[in-house]
Chain A
């Protein structure tokens, strides 16, 4: 019985972590997309001969635009590291009353 309960507890953890990972994978893929686009797709599509187009490829435009890169770098860092971290630190609960009561009775 205990083992089963422990499994459920682990399952709850699983249910938080794994879906989050899928979510983050999704987000990650959308970030990886430019990286993929630049490295993998170009490698795979190398045999497709594209004629010299007047406008530069999208990924090259991003690569050359350092102000855009700065904006993206600062934003990704600010959201995932700073904002998310600060939000978590601001939302911590207090020590549960039962624990305090057991000691201070």
Chain B
């Protein structure tokens, strides 16, 4: 029965005893078992990308009133396999003057940055990579390595357009990291701990009901952090000449591609853990397999919202993007954090329904206040633009000259 309630440890113990029985030292066999666990998690992440790419292509195609891939396999399900085979057989062309070590390391760092996030996400009560007590901050740290990979790719290509493209991407990513980290603090504040397991265990009511505005800001900032539509100015299909990965071909380009899609699903997983209650659901504490199923359903729902946003919104320009973050999202996130901190301190010790309704009410009030402010700004702007400008000549003087 311990297998059902704690599958990962029981498999790990069995493997360790097996290796010790083969004659290895206990430290060494523990190390090997840990390495096997990390390998399984990374392989799972990379394999699921095939499913994600197919899902996105079909969903976006249906939104655009076309069919999507439907030739290879039933409903086109093997299209990603065909694309992978094509990328594997392409030639690697390294530009002349490129810095070889950095050029080859950049796609690795990009994938590393995304796979590293999966180490702290809990799939069930006892199924997780590692439970560090600063899990939420670790996610931000590993995302910073992804930013580094982009600069490495842009600089080492020895191409000034790749370099400029990389700089624009990095300025977008750094600027949306600020509202991301500020709204990341809201579940941390509500749960009282930065560990991901602790945040999931504290969600008796899902945090999306306690902080819906925080959920929205976190989702928008995460979509911008990945670089997906509508924030995909820098690597969009019609603008690819100025992107940072133009000098990459074959599987190295495939690594950047995989990193982007896996990052989109990882956002789904992180948002599901922080705001939608993670693996919690009826019966999830006793049967971890149920917890994993609930977690994946929630992550897929958020991934579908991300794909939906891609298929719906037009691309926004870089100056609109930066203004949106610095002048709207960051002040809103700061105000939300401060007001929620004060409100949570005031209702400390009250029964749960007071706590839930006051948090929800605070969020709704801030949202309404923001919409009201935006409307009054827009009204003033419209009035300024539409007022009568003085004409060059007086209206009736022309007809009197004849």
Task: Please say whether chains A and B are actual partners in one complex.
Answer: no
Interface residues, chain A, CB within 8 Å of chain B? Answer: none
Interface residues, chain B, CB within 8 Å of chain A? Answer: none
